[in-house]
A = this chain, B = another copy of it.
């Protein structure tokens, strides 16, 4: 017998925490609604919030229609937890408002990730950190960091991480709904046109709008994601360094990242060169990855088994493959990781953090 209780109803959900989802209409918000729909016994009321542009729209969560309400202080009244999946300026303004009203904020934006007094949490790696939140805000790392940190954390636990060199293959989704839409529109324009891809700039002239990207993405790769940081580094590249240091509590970790956008819809990939304090061994490293919750080992190149973004999109775990010991350094390991940027890379990690709070309440 199906429950007749709507998502905002508390019938049979008395005593369970109330959750506000800010940014429920976005790329991350849509996946959050999917994930919440598979966890029926966690929350009481769930409120869907977005900008005034979306107010009044009806969305589905837990299989039931729910009206989107515009962001305002009242959306946090009586809310135990709020997940924020909104642009940075909106998070910067409204997360403190929610926290001041006693709502525990889980923020997916970059705003608070490196702020003192705000824990940066990956539940498989440092779940205990959620308890230490003097500002009432908990941050979730960026999608490139989240695409590797569970796997790297497991290896660090055994070998002691010293240095990372990371090159990313990031999907359009990292730039939100408009990123995904731009890639599809460009792919539609170029199709399989054999007149393109032979002369410098012909793709640039053919793809139409660049959307949130600084160069064409279809039939191309773009060595730039995020905004401009110091000395030519991008915010995503600095984020991978700062966030990995904070999550793993390794303030002196050496990290060099290069972030590159590729014409893939939603799953990020990372090529990682990791140097450890101890000697690494290929079979043992593979076994560690295979045995880590949240990681799937997919590493049998003889039979063409390695993770690719098209094969892992829509799934929760981090997929690890191409695990090799360096030929020149007994303490270095190479690996290739893939994961859905909207799931573990954003919505899933935020939902996991929120659930840690929900069960603690």
Contacts and interface: CB of A to CB of B under 8 A. Distances in A.
Nearest to A234: B301
A3 interface: no
Contacts of A203: 310
Interface residues of A, number: 80
A256 B169 contact: no
B197 A264 contact: yes
B269 A221 contact: yes
A187 interface: yes
A279 to B, nearest CB: 15
A207 to B, nearest CB: 9
A306 B258 contact: no
A328 interface: yes
A307 B197 contact: no
Given A167-B271, A190-B187, A314 B200 contact: yes
B219 A265 contact: yes
Contacts of A311: 200-201, 204, 215, 220
A357 interface: no
Contact of A228 (B187, B222, B302): B302
A312 interface: yes
B223 A256 contact: no
Nearest to A241: B327
Interface string A94-105: 000000000000
A53 interface: no
B223 A310 contact: no
A165 interface: yes
Nearest to A171: B197
Contacts of A282: 231-232
B169 A201 contact: no
Contact of A256 (B188, B263, B301, B334): B334
A231 B333 CA distance: 12
Interface string A308-335: 1111111100000111111111001010
B192 A185 contact: yes
B165 A273 contact: yes
Interface string A286-315: 000000000000010110101111111111
B223 A326 contact: no
Complex A-B, nearest 3 residue pairs according to Cβ-Cβ distance, in ascending order: A188-B192, A197-B265, A167-B167
10 contacts: A188-B192, A198-B314, A215-B308, A219-B264, A220-B309, A221-B269, A232-B322, A232-B324, A254-B328, A271-B271
